[in-house]
């Protein structure tokens, strides 16, 4: 397996005074039945405007250059909050995608059409927020603070744990074998989002250091590989697929993007991400964005919108456009597509991987990057070939923190053929209880990416990423984040069982090479 290592290292990153981190290791999984479950998309627009047009109209990006509202937000403006209201009350599992099956060209003509000479004007900055501004000099709340915010889900039972100050996560999904993977994943992450509000301080979690380590890895990957928009005055846009609770919002601020788009299948996670963003966004963004101006490092200086949707079963335009009319023409193609700790769910079938990679490549501008983190098929191969199993049957490996249990006997040479549908249950203490996910045979994944015009630029195991790049990032990252990785020998990084658990993952970067 060839490996390229060409970090750009050129992206300017800023040291920020504090860091409200989340998830990171919140890796999860599923089980499958061939039933295809898409999602109707539900979206949360973010606006800092106080008033809206009375008469909704279709947006025309280039026809509204003088306006100070992003064009994609102009139509249906009046029902913006109504939509959020609806979303807020949304309870039922999402069923049935309306994605047309066989009209990709039609859909993507529009999708790709925005990248022309007038793209400078595709989005405008606008001011006036309803979000309260923190007192000057006050730092943004970190995730521990956020967890202590009273939550509306008082019906959720609190899991009993050994530490009275900390309640470890425990899944309450029953009869997984009768559910399709989307349902399991959605239920799992909805539960996690709700339970996390009652768990207590994250610093008490048995995987606290691991979470910090994984977050640092994502800072490094995004810091080195998010490429700014090549067109001056055009916003730098990041599309976060399977964004979860918005755990990477801080990282997006760190790399100074201008626009964030988050999509996830878990409606509770999206709601939490929206809430996290809303609490911390800047009060005012100048009309011309913040290019060349100082950013407020205590807050999010970028615009954001969030939508619920199935990234592996539905096209991105079909997820976003119904909720944010004009967004595809207004903000796409984007500069970066990020997918953190989630791509393995797609490897259930070729169809899902194809849908995902179509979403990625059609969303990206040429030269844009596709950045992700996944379990390492090489790591699995090693375990299998060396027979480092926890059970007699040779289906389970791991340690006291994590475990992988294959559904079927793994191949003796550790090479999974065909590349799809190799299911295993993954467990991670205080995060994941036996949730199914799929092996991502990396070389096959790479070949699929190449078929989609994506060329591998970087691929490394987490331990190597950390060792090679932490010197550059050590002084730039939040002190609490760094201190949260302190080892027993006084140095920083992962050790013991945690080291093996984080070594299970790799980071990758592909670049879109052609139009």
Ligand X SMILES: C[S@@+](CC[C@H](N)C(=O)[O-])C[C@H]1O[C@@H](n2cnc3c(N)ncnc32)[C@H](O)[C@@H]1O
CA atoms within 13 A on the CB side of 339: 26
Closest contact distance (angstroms) between CB of 247 and ligand X is 3
- Residue 341 touching ligand X (CB under 6 A): yes
- Residue 266 touching ligand X (CB under 6 A): yes
Rounded to 5 degrees, φ, ψ at 241 are: -80, 135
Closest CB to ligand X among residues 129, 340: 340
**Residue ranges in 173-192 that form contacts with ligand X under rule CB under 6 A:** 182, 185, 189
In this structure, are residues 461 and 377 in contact, taking their beta carbons and an 8 Å threshold? no
Closest contact distance (angstroms) between CB of 209 and ligand X is 16
Segment lying near ligand X (by CB under 6 A), choices 81-89, 157-165, 243-251, 461-469: 243-251
Rounded to 5 degrees, φ, ψ at 437 are: -145, 180
- What is the distance between the alpha carbons of residues 24 and 498, in angstroms, rounded to a whole number? 14
Q: Report the DSSP beta bridge partners of residue 372.
A: 339, 508
Closest CB to ligand X among residues 192, 460: 192
Segment lying near ligand X (by CB under 6 A), choices 25-33, 89-97, 322-330, 496-504: 25-33
- Residue 26 touching ligand X (CB under 6 A): yes
- What is the distance between the alpha carbons of residues 317 and 39, in angstroms, rounded to a whole number? 13
- Residue 427 touching ligand X (CB under 6 A): no
Residues 206, 235, 247, 372: which binds ligand X (CB under 6 A)? 247
Segment lying near ligand X (by CB under 6 A), choices 20-28, 56-64, 376-384, 433-441: 20-28
Closest CB to ligand X among residues 320, 342: 342
Residue pointed to by tokens 């609806």 = 86
Residues 220, 243, 249, 257: which binds ligand X (CB under 6 A)? 243
Find the distance separating the first CA and the last CA of the chain, reported in whole Å.
27
- Residue 323 touching ligand X (CB under 6 A): no
List, in order, residues 6 or more apart from 490 with CB less than 8 Å away.
none
Q: In 281-419, which ranges are continuous DSSP H helix?
A: 316-320, 327-331, 350-363, 377-385
Closest CA to 112 of 262, 366, 328: 328
Closest contact distance (angstroms) between CB of 259 and ligand X is 18
Closest contact distance (angstroms) between CB of 431 and ligand X is 8
**Residue ranges in 56-115 that form contacts with ligand X under rule CB under 6 A:** none
Residues 28, 303, 348, 498: which binds ligand X (CB under 6 A)? 28
- Residue 32 touching ligand X (CB under 6 A): no
- What is the distance between the alpha carbons of residues 65 and 68, in angstroms, rounded to a whole number? 8
**Residue ranges in 295-314 that form contacts with ligand X under rule CB under 6 A:** 310-312
- Residue 318 touching ligand X (CB under 6 A): no
- Residue 24 touching ligand X (CB under 6 A): yes
Closest contact distance (angstroms) between CB of 398 and ligand X is 17
- Residue 37 touching ligand X (CB under 6 A): no
- Residue 244 touching ligand X (CB under 6 A): yes
Please give the residue whose beta carbon sits closest to ligand X in the complex: 244
Q: Report the DSSP beta bridge partners of residue 486.
A: 492
Residues 13, 19, 20, 23: which binds ligand X (CB under 6 A)? 23
- Residue 220 touching ligand X (CB under 6 A): no
- Residue 477 touching ligand X (CB under 6 A): no
Residues 224, 258, 264, 267: which binds ligand X (CB under 6 A)? 264
Site string for ligand X, 222-241 (x = CB under 6 A): --------------------
Closest CB to ligand X among residues 311, 456: 311
Structure tokens at 33: 């039945």
Ordered DSSP codes for 11-34: S-----S------SS--------S
List, in order, residues 6 or more apart from 477 with CB less than 8 Å away.
15, 19, 216, 219
- Residue 27 touching ligand X (CB under 6 A): yes
In this structure, are residues 37 and 265 in contact, taking their beta carbons and an 8 Å threshold? no
- Residue 345 touching ligand X (CB under 6 A): yes
Closest contact distance (angstroms) between CB of 248 and ligand X is 6
Closest contact distance (angstroms) between CB of 341 and ligand X is 4
Rounded to 5 degrees, φ, ψ at 112 are: -95, -5
- Burial-class residue 84 by CB neighbours within 10 Å (0-12, 13-18, 19+): middle
Closest contact distance (angstroms) between CB of 195 and ligand X is 14
Closest CB to ligand X among residues 129, 308: 308
Structure tokens at 430: 């205080």
Closest CB to ligand X among residues 410, 507: 507
Q: Are strands 334-340 and 364-375 parallel, antiparallel or unpaired?
A: parallel
- Residue 332 touching ligand X (CB under 6 A): no
Closest CB to ligand X among residues 61, 99: 99
Segment lying near ligand X (by CB under 6 A), choices 68-76, 242-250, 449-457, 459-467: 242-250
Binding footprint of ligand X, residue count (CB under 6 A): 24
List, in order, residues 6 or more apart from 426 with CB less than 8 Å away.
27, 28, 29, 375, 402, 403, 404, 432, 434, 435, 436, 437
- What is the distance between the alpha carbons of residues 399 and 428, in angstroms, rounded to a whole number? 10
Structure tokens at 290: 């913040």
List, in order, residues 6 or more apart from 228 with CB less than 8 Å away.
11, 236, 256, 335
Residues that bind ligand X (CB under 6 A): 23-24, 26-28, 182, 185, 189, 242-244, 247-248, 264-266, 269, 310-312, 340-342, 345
């Amino acid at each position: 397996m060839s490996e390229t290592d060409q970090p750009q290292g050129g992206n300017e990153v800023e040291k920020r005074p504090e860091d409200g981190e989340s998830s990171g290791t919140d890796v999860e999984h599923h089980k499958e039945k061939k039933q295809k479950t898409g999602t109707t998309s539900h979206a949360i627009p973010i606006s800092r405007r106080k008033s809206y047009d009375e008469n909704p109209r279709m947006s025309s990006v280039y026809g509204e250059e003088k306006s100070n509202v992003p064009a994609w937000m102009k139509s249906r403006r009046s029902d913006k909050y109504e939509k959020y209201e609806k979303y807020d009350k949304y309870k039922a599992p999402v069923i049935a995608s309306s994605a047309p099956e066989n009209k990709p060209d039609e859909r993507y003509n529009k999708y790709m059409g925005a990248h022309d000479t007038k793209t400078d004007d595709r989005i405008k900055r606008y001011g006036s927020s309803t979000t309260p501004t923190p007192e000057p000099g006050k730092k943004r709340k970190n995730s521990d603070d956020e967890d202590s915010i009273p939550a509306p889900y008082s019906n959720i039972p609190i899991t009993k744990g050994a530490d009275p100050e900390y309640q470890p996560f425990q899944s309450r999904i029953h009869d997984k074998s009768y559910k399709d993977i989307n349902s399991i994943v959605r239920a799992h992450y909805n539960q996690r989002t709700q339970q996390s509000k009652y768990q207590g301080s994250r610093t008490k979690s048995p995987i606290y250091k691991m979470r910090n380590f994984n977050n640092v890895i994502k800072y490094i990957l995004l810091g080195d590989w998010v490429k700014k928009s090549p067109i001056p005055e055009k916003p730098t846009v990041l599309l976060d697929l399977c964004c979860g609770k918005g755990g990477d919002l801080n990282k997006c601020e760190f790399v100074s993007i201008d626009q964030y788009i988050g999509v996830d299948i878990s409606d509770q996670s999206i709601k939490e991400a929206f809430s996290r963003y809303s609490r911390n966004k800047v009060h005012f963004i100048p009309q011309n964005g913040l290019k060349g101006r100082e950013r407020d490092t205590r807050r999010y200086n970028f615009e954001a919108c969030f939508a619920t949707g199935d990234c592996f079963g539905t096209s991105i335009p079909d997820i976003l456009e119904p909720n944010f009319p004009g967004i595809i023409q207004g903000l796409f193609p984007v500069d970066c597509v990020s997918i953190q700790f989630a791509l393995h769910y797609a490897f259930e079938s070729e169809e899902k991987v194809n849908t995902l990679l179509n979403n990625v490549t059609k969303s990206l501008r040429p030269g844009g990057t596709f950045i992700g983190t996944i379990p390492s098929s090489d790591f699995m191969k090693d375990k299998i070939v060396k027979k480092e199993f926890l059970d007699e049957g040779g289906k389970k490996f791991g340690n006291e923190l994590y475990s992988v249990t294959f559904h079927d006997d793994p191949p003796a040479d550790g090479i999974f053929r065909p590349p799809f549908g190799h299911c295993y249950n993954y467990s991670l203490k205080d995060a994941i209880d036996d949730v199914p996910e799929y092996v991502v045979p990396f070389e096959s994944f790479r070949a699929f990416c190449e078929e989609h015009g994506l060329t591998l630029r970087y691929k490394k195991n987490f331990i190597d990423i950390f060792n090679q790049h932490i010197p550059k990032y050590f002084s730039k990252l939040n002190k609490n984040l760094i201190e949260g990785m302190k080892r027993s020998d006084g140095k920083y990084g992962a050790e013991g069982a945690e080291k093996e658990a984080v070594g299970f993952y790799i980071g990758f970067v592909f670049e879109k090479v052609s139009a």
